[in-house]
Structure 1
Amino acid sequence: MLNEKTIHVIKSTVPVLEVHGVAITKRFYERLFTQHPELLNVFNHANQKQGRQQTALANAVYAAAQHIDNLANILPVVKQIAHKHRSLGILPEHYPIVGENLLAAIKDVLGDAATEEILDAWAEAYGVIADAFIGVEAELYEQSREQVGGWADFRAFVVEKKVRESDVITSFYLVPQDRQALAVYEPGQYISVKVDIPGERNTHIRQYSLSDAPGKAYYRISVKQEDACEEKPAGKVSVYLTEKVKEGDVLHVSAPAGDFTLKQEERPVVLISGGVGLTPMVSMLTTLAEKSARQVTFIHAAQNGNRHALREDVERVTQDNPRVSAYWSYSQPTEQDREAGSFHHEGYIDLKWLQEIVPEKAASYYFCGPVPFMQSIKKALTDWGIPADDMHYEFFGPAGNL
């Protein structure tokens, strides 16, 4: 436990972190990768270049400082990050490296303002926070390793089938190379895929939601090919998987992880997705349709029919099932879409349309997609008066702020 003096010093740095947090975390990653380039095999380089990782860490440090007198308040965030760490292979020996470079980054950015008292307080606080992460992650590693068909590190899987789902999304059906048992998972969870791309110096790891219901003889991921645009570079792993990986090739995969899962309750469920954000939602939908008596409304937004993936999967689930309904919103429908009448709403999902199609307002709402999409959905639900506890969402990549 931290003493009152340490807590007071940490609390006094909250305003400083609010202003300089991103600068500190940016400097932290510069130091970390200079002194430990082997860690470039773990971190997502694209998130580094876009600043997403730096911002996520700054938010986490800021939250830790705010709640240093009651760290139980940030335990849900610790668990969420711990799931990602377990899926990436983060180990206890990594934490001293992080702590050393984080404290040095604070000193580099704040200069003389980072007094010995402040640095000592943060060193003590970091030790407590690191121990919390290490403890949670140890439990997750044990759970992963000890379950039937489980494993703790990365395991070789064969691409049994590769299916083009839309102009931009491709599904990969993965089976264990050793043909041994396959660990079950909760709908909404993800796996990490580790690849060595020819010509690349570092290994790359990316996390992909499992897009089918648990209990199958395979894991399925549905990958959007991220081509280069003004906002960001091309996704190295998604392009490699889509263009180079073939049926019969081997990929190395971590056991399923993640806490974006269905709550155990009997209330109606509303699943709202945008783009490739439908992958965890399809897993949830299929599971609910097969194993639950709950009423489910599935709402998906896509640019048009050419970019609408897994539509047949959803329609197969909803067919002859009065408890389940599905709706499509296309922002730029094609003439073929219009002629076929293959969508229910033109434009972006808005509150007015949600109120028309959601049969019961008192429900649990799950949503996933690009950050602007999730911001829009969260605002619409908030304006409708949906309690925050009834809203559940997942970021693809480092956690952000809606």
Structure 2
Amino acid sequence: MLSPESTAIVRATLPAVGAAIGEITTLFYRRMFADHPELERDLFNRGNQAAGDQPKALAGAVAGYATMLVEQPDVRPGAMLARIAHKHVSLGITEDQYRIVHKYLFAAIVEVLGEAVTPEVATAWDEVYWLMAGELIALEAKLYSEAGVEPGQAWRGMTVVARTQESRDAVSFTLRPADGSPAPAFRPGQYVSVAVRLPDGTRQIRQYSLSAGPDGAQWRITVKRMHGGDTPAGEVSNWLHDNIDSGDLLTVSLPFGDLTLAEGDEPLLLASAGIGCTPMIGMLDHLAATGSERAVTVVHGDRSPADHAHAEQLRTLVAALPEAELHRWYEQPAEADGEVRTGLVDLAQIEIPQGVRAYLCGPLPFMRATRAELLRRGVPAQSIHYEVFGPDLWLASGN
């Protein structure tokens, strides 16, 4: 809990800091990478840096955490911190790196805000930072411990045992531990990080959802090729498409992620768009393998049938569940029937069961529209869960 003295100062200065936080975080990353180029080269996603998404996400997290400390001091921002902690352990973040971040973040605050940063203001925001950092460090230590590894040591060598074309732009890679051990367990909906060494010598890391249920022997990830020029966006996915085949070795993290299928008998809504189908396929695979009789409404939107990864498997899994129904939308005209519609996903056209637990994954506009419709239909916010591929700009925008 923030001290009373710091609470008053943070509340008074939050508008000024909030207004400048984007400039602060941009300067922070620039200065930190100048002094520690290894972080940009080997740890941070340079595609997100180039697009400006990572500074926006950091700004949103810091501002959101500070706002909650002063406005709701008895409430912990559990969802936000858990999401960050899972991402950090999948990257191999360790406690010492928080001190590096602290040094450059506070230097940027002083430079941007100038004389407004009195010693009292600096002390108050220092308290905010270390409260947030302390909670994250504790969460991450617990995740590392639960995974049975030392901090930063979550990487494993995985052999590609199969490469399968899932749509015109998506391939799946089936992975097994290179040392012959069983594949580590995971919860349906989780992801792994994949680290690759690119031709320019950089080590870049990206996260991919596990697109099959846990079976104890192997994992599967599905990777979409990105189009759009020579920007860093998609460089790892495209490298995997162009260079990896059966028999190759990949460096992969243990599974992490807080979007996980809850046990129980409540109805489920699994709503996805584009490559956001991957965690939903993993959940459905698990439900089918365990003989689930839960009511499951599956919704998916895509550009066209040819772009829909795992389309046939999706139909097969839904058919294997006695209380499941499938609704699909394609932007480009497809043969319409009771299951397939043309256009964007529109939940207003389908029935939402009472007491449903919803899982969303896909582009941010899709998730915003889907969540808004669920809230309008009376689904409680705490029953709506989501996964964002990349920095969580949803949190950064205050949703």
The share of aligned pairs that are identical, in percent, is 38
Q: How is 1:227-246 mapped onto 2 (pairs within 5 angstroms)?
A: 227-228=227-228, 234-246=233-245
In structure 2, the CA distance between the partners of 1:72 and 1:31, relative to structure 1 (3 Å rule), is farther
Secondary structure, in 3 states, of the residue corresponding to 1:13?
A: helix
State the alpha-carbon separation in 1 of the partners of residues 75 and 93 from structure 2: 22
TM-score between the two structures when normalised by the length of structure 2 = 0.92
Give the drift of 1:370.
0.7
Q: Which structure 1 segments of 5+ residues have no match?
A: none
Amino acid at match of 1:308: H
In the TM superposition, what is the alpha-carbon distance from 1:341 to its structure 2 partner?
5.9
Tell me the distance in 2 between the aligned counterparts of 1:115 and 1:391: 42
CA contact (8 A) 2:175 2:220 kept: yes
TM-score by length of 1: 0.92
Structure 1 pair 302–257 and aligned structure 2 pair: CA distance change class (3 A): same
- Letter of the structure 1 residue corresponding to residue 82 of structure 2: K
Matched, 1:251 2:250: yes
Separation (CA, whole Å) in 1 of partners of 2:66 and 2:131: 12
* C-alpha contact (below 8 Å) 1:172/1:222 kept by paired residues: yes
| Alignment match, 2:183 | 182
Q: Which amino acid aligns with 2:62?
A: V
Compute the RMSD of aligned alpha carbons. Answer: 2.1
Matched, 1:395 2:351: no
Alignment match of 1:94 (pick from 87, 93, 97): 97
Listed as ranges, the matches of 1:126-165 within 5 Å are: 126-145=129-148, 152-165=153-166
The CA deviation string for residues 16-63 of structure 1, in whole angstroms up to 9 with x for no partner, is 133111111111111111111111111111111111111111111111
Correspondence 1:248-397 to 2 at 5 A: 248-291=247-290, 292-333=292-333, 337-338=334-335, 344-355=340-351, 358=352, 360-397=353-390
Q: Take 1:249 and 1:238, find their aligned partners in 2: how far apart are those partners?
A: 15
Mapped to 2, the partners of 1:216 and 1:272 lie a distance apart of 26
Larger RCO (CA within 8 A; separation ≥ 6): 2
Q: Tell me, yes or no, if the aligned pair for 1:368 and 1:395 is still in contact at 8 Å.
A: yes
2:116 corresponding residue in structure 1: 113
1:64 and 2:65 aligned: yes
* Counterpart Cα distance in 2 of 1:238 and 1:133: 29
Alpha-carbon contact 2:293-2:322 (below 8 Å) kept: no
Distance 1:143 1:238 in 2: 29
CA contact 2:268–2:296 (8 Å) conserved in 1 = yes
The aligned amino acid for 1:363 is: V
**Cα shift at 1:399:** 1.0
Given that 1:285 and 1:298 are in contact with CA atoms closer than 8 Å, whether structure 2 keeps it comes out as no
Q: Secondary structure at the match of 2:195?
A: strand
Partner-residue secondary structure (3-state), 1:178: coil
The range that moved more, 71-80 or 237-246, is 71-80
Letter in 2 for 1:209: S
The residue identity in structure 2 corresponding to 1:303 is R
- Give the aligned partner of residue 195 of structure 1: 196
Say if 2:46 and 2:232, in contact at 8 Å, map to a contact too: no
